[in-house]
Structure 1
């Protein structure tokens, strides 16, 4: 009888501990692993990543002895993105969006990153919006995804989070070069006010500088005419 009471008490305490914490540890571990695989190769291509760090990354992903890896890095990123999306869609099918109350922070952003880097933003944007309104994910993440969706649709973004680029001909030299710009914004005169309300701590100008882009207001028609 005492043994049965002990077991019942142990199970009860275990359940209480889980409900107090609320974190699915196994899912958290899985999502953290997905997040790392999403970010590590993007860190490699970041212009601010040192050569020493790039060597560390190559070793971490087991490609230090593959001389062709650097040249094919975006193929590797796209392949990993496809793998990660399959995993995330399976997780969402079971749990819904894996937010803060389920996996804690910053793990609650893992699924967001994978969706943001996919071609299925339209499928999940309403879910991301709901998660943001419930505090399961920062509202800034929803804002960024909304901006990306709008720019992908050829529309004006709202918060000025997205930069784009296109190849143009330099009129003076006649040579092709890459032109980077902040994608056209619906209300550029109010964008910093909207950014602040959404939870961003930087201005659109500061965000553009962070991306290595000189901020200038363009309309969709102006961008279309730049060639």
Structure 2
């Protein structure tokens, strides 16, 4: 009887944990959707609820996203609280924090510089055994890769997508991408894909982004190296999925995870053909990607997975 009772207790506990985590994922996704819809206060509140449901510690990315929502909602206190929590949880991308326009309203606050100092100190402690010259090189590349791209929304909103200013920005991004690609391909040819243990998550993400922003021959050449990095844990599966989808699209083949969109004859955004589309959300969930309907909302699209 004791064994049966113990087993029942374990099953009940397991069931409650699964329910709690499913609630966390549901609320976390709703928070991301609210952010995409520019309902920033609702997004922040949903993140608050999600973290209360979480049985495991929220990731630094989730906490950082909550900080962005609250900053955009005008609640600077909550924004700084979540930035502090993101730092403790291991957020390491200092350059992104400095450039992120979501946090612009915090820059004049007296808590901004102390927060950056604390973040930089935490990152320095984690990076004590990193390959510092290589890490610094990758940090510089990341900052330049994202610098122009983080201006896109602001410039497009202010001047329009077909404006002279927008054309100039894209030209600036193209020049930067070409320069960064030369640096990254030289690194890959001489050093190989760097390990997280020597450059951290942001470092390996930088290599991925530059290859993702390159051209078909370059992607084909380094795709096997990226796959090896993913298999040994030095590149996130979700990042590799983006690279794989883009490569397939440029090769004229169906994508697997539905990450790539293109413009139709009228310039309207649409998904590139998806292989076995009825099961796309299952594949996305298996590697930690959000449902395709939620992803579509980021681009102002309504999407429903075809009936199986």
TM-score in terms of structure 1 length: 0.70
Matched, 1:164 2:262: yes
Q: Measure, in 1, the Cα distance between the counterparts of 2:299 and 2:132.
A: 34
Figure out how many residues of one structure are paired with residues of the other and give that number. Answer: 175
- 3-state DSSP class of the match of 1:93? helix
Q: Helix, strand or coil: the match of 1:164?
A: strand
Instruction: Say whether 1:28 aligns with 2:135.
Output: yes
Partner of 1:86: 182
C-alpha contact (below 8 Å) 2:195/2:234 kept by paired residues: yes
- CA deviation digits over 1:128-173, x for unaligned, max 9? 11100100010111111000001111111000111111332xxxxx
Of the candidates 233, 236, 261, which is equivalent to residue 135 of structure 1? 233
SS in 2 for 1:104: helix
1:67-90, Cα deviation, whole Å (9 max, x unpaired): x65441111111111100000011
1:49 Cα deviation after fit: 8.5
Q: Which has the higher strand share?
A: 1
Q: Which runs of 4+ in 1 moved over 6 A?
A: 48-51
Partner Cα distance (1:21, 1:117) in 2:
30
Q: Which of 287, 295, 300 is matched with 1:207 structurally?
A: 295
Match of 1:111 among 207, 215, 232: 207
Greater share of helix: 2
Equivalent of residue 193 in structure 2, options 85, 97, 100: 97
| Contact kept? 1:182, 1:215, Cα under 8 Å | no
Task: Please give the secondary structure, in 1, of the residue aligned with 2:184.
Answer: helix
Q: CA deviation at 1:95?
A: 1.6
Q: Which has the higher contact order (CA 8 A, sep 6+)?
A: 1
Q: Name the TM-score, length of structure 2 as normaliser.
A: 0.52
Q: Of 38, 44, 47, which aligns to 2:145?
A: 38
| Contact 1:116/1:145 (<8 A) preserved | yes
Task: Compare CA radii of gyration and give the structure with the larger one.
Answer: 1
CA, structure 1 residues 48+162, in 2 after alignment: closer, same or farther (shift >3 Å)?
A: farther
Does the C-alpha gap of structure 1 residues 91 and 44 become closer, same or farther in structure 2, counting only changes over 3 Å?
same
**Alpha-carbon separation, structure 1, partners of 2:298 and 2:166:** 24
